[in-house]
Amino acid sequence: MEVLKIATAGSVDDGKSTLIGRILYDTKSLTTDKLEAIEKTSKKNGYDYLDFSLATDGLVAEREQGITIDVAHIYFSTANKSYIIADTPGHVEYTRNMVTGASTSQAAIILIDARKGVIEQTNRHFFINNLLRIKDVVVAINKMDLVDYSEERYNEIKADFEQLMDKREYRDQKITFIPVSALKGDNVVNISERTPWYSGTTLLEHFETLDRKDIFNVGTPRFPVQYVIRPKTDAHHDFRGFAGKVYGGELSVGDEVVALPSQTRSKIKDIYFHDKKYQTAARRSSVTITLEDEINLSRGDMLVKVNDLPTIEKRFTATVSWMDSQQLTVGNKYIIQHGVNKVLAKIDKVHHKIEPDYSGVDTEVDSLGMNDIAEVSFQLNKPIYYDKFKDHRTNGSFILIDPNSNSTVGAGFIS
């Protein structure tokens, strides 16, 4: 079973909701009652076409304001894959929402209005998708119907976007351009006859043919201990299982492992998924591991292979995406949640604020506001066992929790 999560990015009115609605409609994922509701409301609003954007717009407050506010999830499936679309909106809280949506996605769609071409917002969308190291990005050039399906216009926009690509840091990102009309349905699910000059796939076909290796970065296995299972029953008297999810690579029975922070060595004895034993634990599987030796591990500890140690440090620098209305200021203390491990952290230094638009403007600051992105140095009360974000998406990222409000106030990507 394959699940592909796709983040979407576009400015207000570029046609994001229409595109998602179109995908649902053409894959026959809209149920009769939803379709009826769309027809009814479209008619009520006096439209002479079906307003597919109604398929995705959620909360009452939003309907009143006519905008989408937060990250919404939309589900559909083909015979081949299950899809989750993380729809993020295009206004002020955008950076925060987009970082959030992108963090759990393996692919992304960046929408461009063919009449407007690459605009400042496009730079931001691309910057964030690249920062979050999303492996597969589709640039959907929308509203092709309004530019007479012009190949020239398409090539112009493509060339503009390619200039941005030269500036990107994460080079392995695969980028595909597709000319579409969300409203008319060209090249979304069905190939269009109005773009005979375009020889690529439709948007959906593109995702259908993505392979696992195209979307996941394989690295070194990391096993953060989530929970210790000690049943203390007659049948399992001495059972001490370490429950957790495997990230980055596989683990197998017999692997020599080191427990962190104690640095104790042991070997993997058994790997359980529910009541069955397996020889290997797959990447992203939630398993229970037992060890050859009696080692005391608790939540937040980590098992790694002996030759693949992460960095064990109390200080590091990270790119921080700030998500709270209360400012981040030098000297402030936060809780860092790194996977399932929590430590206390102090802000040592804010190096500079990064404008997420490739303008190259870096401003010296010592505090950060909502939606700011900056390089920040941290000092911790205990070491954590991390990899750089570029080497390990899971073990290189963390969230910041405000100890007073308990809110999640930011996210960090270790440099």
Partner 1 sequence: MDTAHINPLENEAIYIFREVAAQFERPVLLFSGGKDSITLVRLAQKAFWPAKIPFPLMHIDTGHNFPETIEFRDRLVKELGLELIVRNVQDSIDQGKVKEESGRYSSRNSLQTTTLLDAIEEFKFDACIGGARRDEEKARAKERIFSVRDDFGQWDEKNQRPELFDMLNGQIELGQNVRVFPISNWTELDVWSYIEKENIEIPSIYFAHKRKVFLRDGLIWSHSDYVYQEEDEEVLERMVRFRTVGDMSCTAAVFSEAKDIASVVQEIRESTISERGARIDDKRSEAAMEKRKQQGYF
Ligand X SMILES: Nc1nc2c(ncn2[C@@H]2O[C@H](COP(=O)(O)OP(=O)(O)O)[C@@H](O)[C@H]2O)c(=O)[nH]1
Instruction: Rank residues 183 and 215 by Cβ distance to ligand X and give the closer one.
Output: 183
DSSP code of residue 247: B
Asked if 121 touches ligand X (CB under 6 A), the answer is no
What phi-psi label fits residue 274: left (phi over 0), alpha (psi between -120 and 50 degrees) or beta?
A: left
Q: Name which of residues 382 to 401 contact partner 1 (CB under 8 A).
A: 393-394, 397-399, 401
Assess contact for 6 and 102: CB atoms under 8 A.
no
Asked if 92 touches ligand X (CB under 6 A), the answer is no
What phi-psi label fits residue 37: left (phi over 0), alpha (psi between -120 and 50 degrees) or beta?
A: alpha
Q: How far apart are CA 318 and CA 375, in angstroms?
A: 6
Q: How far apart are CA 230 and CA 222, in angstroms?
A: 22
> Residues 115, 267, 284, 333: which binds partner 1 (CB under 8 A)?
284
Q: Name which of residues 126 to 155 contact ligand X (CB under 6 A).
A: 142-143, 145-146
Q: Name which of residues 183 to 212 contact partner 1 (CB under 8 A).
A: 212
For the chain, the 3-state helix, strand and coil shares in percent, each to the nearest 5, are 20, 35, 45
Please report which helix (H) or strand (E) contains residue 351, including its range: strand 341-354
Count of residues near ligand X by CB under 6 A = 16
Assess contact for 410 and 324: CB atoms under 8 A.
yes
Asked if 16 touches ligand X (CB under 6 A), the answer is yes
Stretch that binds partner 1, among 140-148, 312-320, 348-356, 404-412 (CB under 8 A): 404-412
Asked if 412 touches ligand X (CB under 6 A), the answer is no
Q: How far apart are CA 76 and CA 71, in angstroms?
A: 17
Asked if 319 touches ligand X (CB under 6 A), the answer is no
Q: Name which of residues 171 to 200 contact ligand X (CB under 6 A).
A: 181-183
Q: Name which of residues 333 to 352 contact partner 1 (CB under 8 A).
A: 335, 337, 339-340
Q: Name which of residues 16 to 45 contact partner 1 (CB under 8 A).
A: 28, 31-34, 37
Instruction: Rank residues 86 and 376 by Cβ distance to ligand X and give the closer one.
Output: 86
Asked if 100 touches partner 1 (CB under 8 A), the answer is yes
DSSP track, 141-194: EE-GGGGTT-HHHHHHHHHHHHHHHTT-S-TT-EEEEEE-BTTTTBTTTB--SS
Q: Name which of residues 141 to 180 contact partner 1 (CB under 8 A).
A: none
- Please name the amino acid found at residue 175: I
Asked if 243 touches partner 1 (CB under 8 A), the answer is yes
> Residues 66, 274, 331, 360: which binds partner 1 (CB under 8 A)?
274
Asked if 13 touches ligand X (CB under 6 A), the answer is yes
Smallest CA-to-CA distance from 88 within 34, 125, 127 is with 125
Instruction: Rank residues 31 and 155 by Cβ distance to partner 1 and give the closer one.
Output: 31
Q: Kindly compute the dihedral angle of the four CA atoms of residues 90, 96, 102, 104, in this order, to the nearest 10 degrees.
A: -130
Stretch that binds partner 1, among 13-21, 110-118, 146-154, 225-233 (CB under 8 A): 225-233
Instruction: Rank residues 179 and 248 by Cβ distance to partner 1 and give the closer one.
Output: 248
Asked if 17 touches ligand X (CB under 6 A), the answer is yes
- The entry of partner 1, ligand X, none near residue 340 (CB within 5 to 8 angstroms by kind) is partner 1
> Residues 53, 88, 106, 192: which binds ligand X (CB under 6 A)?
53
Please report which helix (H) or strand (E) contains residue 272, including its range: strand 264-273
Instruction: Rank residues 57 and 301 by Cβ distance to ligand X and give the closer one.
Output: 57
Q: Is 120 helix (H, G, I), strand (E, B) or coil?
A: helix
Asked if 371 touches ligand X (CB under 6 A), the answer is no
Binding site for ligand X (CB under 6 A): 10, 12-18, 53, 142-143, 145-146, 181-183
